[in-house]
Structure 1
Amino acid sequence: MNEIQANVMKTTTLKRLWLPVGAGLAACLSGCNLDVLDPKGSVGVAEKALIATSTWAMLIVVIPVIILTLLFAWRYRASNRNATYAPKWSHSTAIEVVVWTVPTLIIIFLGVLTWKTTHELDPYRPIESNVKPINVEVVALDWKWLFIYPDLGIASVNQLAVPVGTPVNFRITSDSVMNSFFIPQLGTQVYAMAGMQTRLHLIADEAGDYAGMSANFSGEGFSDMKFRTLAQSPDEFNAWVAKVKATQQQLSMDEYGTVAKPSEKAPVQYFSTVDPQLFHNIIAKYNNGHVMDLQDAACGTKG
């Protein structure tokens, strides 16, 4: 068997090995729902554009490197006697200029882009709108989410309803370990920490039923720590509020102790009334009565 036949057999064997692997990967990815790339809110749209722009900028280097690697391997293969053989070659000013200038320009571009979008997409920055925002207080528990609507005096577990086209001002904390609040199609995940409150501003531009999740491992019930975000028309949202207010359950401090107990695959719950100091008390119990904002904590101040 000559060298060419041996190489052909090796190539054929590799193809046979990789075919089932490739088919398996394709089957797995076919079931993936890339919600981040299907945004339904202005923040999510801006983040998708940032991801796309950054990817294309980096591909300016990646694609030519891949192409040139394959080209050089083919051009300077052992059997090509026409290729220039230059064992003492060591420097090319033109090549040096290209390999340093292009990456430098890309890094500068990405740096400016990152600085600009970091400020534009700051989760603490309110969304400009003529529509009055709605306030929602979020508490990460083991292993569920509690949503408190302080202006409406209601609360829910594992279901968040918001009116379409209305900015939502979130205040987020945890009454357990560190967690992460994330609605992929609306954009921006923010951490929830005990004794701290973080802020987030989102908006839903289209009606829909969007997945919400914990994006930070927090124990055995983490995989089922999910909720649904209902982006509704104003009339539908008002009907949802009326439905919640019609329930018998009330969320007092005593009842909260029961709700906060660890549980997995927690069902949706509604509370027609809620203690107005509940969110404050959840945070303050870790700080000797103080409520600390994460941004203030970075500056060493308390609120």
Structure 2
Amino acid sequence: MVNKTFERVSIPLGAGLVACLSGCSKLDVLDPKGSVGMAEKSLISTATMAMLIVVVPVIVMILVFAWRYRASNRNATYAPRWAHSTAIETVVWTVPTLIILFLGILTWNTTHELDPYRPIESAVKPIKVEVVALDWKWLFIYPELGVASVNQLAFPVGTPVDFKITSDSVMNSFFIPQLGSQIYAMAGMQTQLHLIADHAGDYAGISANYSGKGFSDMKFRALAVTPAQFDAWVEKVKASPRRLDMNAYNSVAQPSEKEPVRYFASVDSKLFNNIIAKYNNGNVLDLQNSNCRTKG
């Protein structure tokens, strides 16, 4: 079982590696467009600066000592029996201890504030999206609107998005770098994530966990648009001739690579729960409280 708190603080290294491997021209995680992403960028910056308080002086002292005590410098003090300095011991133990304490408190507070299961406070009603990781594509279901899409996610700017996430394949990781955070998608289990976009834009979405040969193209677009544009997008989806029931879903779930965007004008209201429940003898496992509930 994945510790949901750890998923927030694992972002700096994981996001950097994923961005580099995917050929991004810049680290999108350092160009956030939502409040969650901004808070994570602040955490990364603060932690990096705190660690540089030790790293930079150590690098400087290595160079200074190497130069000062080189073999050709006869003016340097030669003290072969030197063994202890209280002042040096105090500095080398006190400074790192204070930094570790500072980072520990910072990480503790931030990981609780950025708990992916914690709803975003807003006067705007959240929009609910159910996410299914497949081989090698993403399925987005809008249970309140009765529509679905493949490899394209849309939501109004300034509106919290409440995600419920699962996988109908191997473990994946759902990640929109510029909006912040990533959380795992696991077969037979349901995780949650809350995000918000403060700026309109077309943002890259990726899988941040290797899942086989089609992994490199398991990407989607997250469209943060105005309410009017979102309504137009919904009408566009509803105009699709496709319907997503369990039989159609079985076809969609077949492994495929570089899957184009597809829309479904209607969707089985129990589809998401049925996907999870088929791994759990008819039960839905929610990692928030680690309990099973009977499929409705």
1:289 and 2:282 are equivalent in the alignment = yes
- Counterpart of 2:3 in structure 1 is none
- Counterpart of 1:16 in structure 2 is none
Q: Answer with 1 or 2: which has the greater Rg.
A: 1
Q: CA separation in 2, counterparts of 1:32 and 1:116? A: 32
1:220 and 2:220 are equivalent in the alignment = no
Q: CA separation in 2, counterparts of 1:204 and 1:193? A: 25
Q: CA separation in 2, counterparts of 1:139 and 1:123? A: 17
Q: CA separation in 1, counterparts of 2:65 and 2:247? A: 72
- Counterpart of 1:46 in structure 2 is 39
**CA-atom RMSD in angstroms:** 1.1
For residue 75 of structure 1, what is the amino acid of its counterpart? Answer: R
Matches within 5 A, 1:129-144: 129-144=122-137
- Shift in alpha-carbon separation, 1:248–1:151, aligned structure 2, 3 A: same
Residues 202-247 of structure 1 show CA distances to partners (whole Å, capped at 9, x for unaligned) of 0000000000000000000000000000000000000000100011
Residues 132-174 of structure 1 show CA distances to partners (whole Å, capped at 9, x for unaligned) of 0000000000000000000000000000001000000000000
Q: How many residues align?
A: 272
Q: CA separation in 1, counterparts of 2:292 and 2:261? A: 34
- Counterpart of 1:210 in structure 2 is 203
Choose the corresponding residue for 1:237, options 225, 230, 236: 230
Q: CA separation in 1, counterparts of 2:191 and 2:286? A: 6
Q: CA separation in 2, counterparts of 1:138 and 1:280? A: 11
For residue 25 of structure 2, what is the amino acid of its counterpart? Answer: C
Choose the corresponding residue for 1:56, options 26, 45, 49: 49
- Counterpart of 1:302 in structure 2 is 292
SS of the residue 1:191 aligns to: strand
Runs of 4+ aligned structure 1 residues displaced above 6 Å come to none
SS of the residue 2:255 aligns to: coil
Offset at 1:32? Answer: 2.6
Which structure ranks higher in relative contact order (CA pairs < 8 Å, sequence separation ≥ 6)? 2
TM-score normalised according to structure 2 size: 0.91
- Counterpart of 1:23 in structure 2 is none
Identity across aligned pairs (percent)? Answer: 76
Q: CA separation in 1, counterparts of 2:46 and 2:201? A: 27
SS of the residue 2:275 aligns to: helix
For residue 288 of structure 2, what is the amino acid of its counterpart? Answer: Q
Offset at 1:31? Answer: 6.3
- Counterpart of 2:192 in structure 1 is 199
SS of the residue 1:111 aligns to: helix
Matches within 5 A, 1:143-154: 143-154=136-147
For residue 147 of structure 1, what is the amino acid of its counterpart? Answer: F
Matches within 5 A, 1:1-303: 32-297=25-290, 301-303=291-293
Offset at 1:294? Answer: 1.4
Gaps of 5+ in 1: 1-27
SS of the residue 1:135 aligns to: strand
Gaps of 5+ in 2: 1-20
Q: CA separation in 2, counterparts of 1:259 and 1:296? A: 30
Q: CA separation in 2, counterparts of 1:273 and 1:33? A: 38
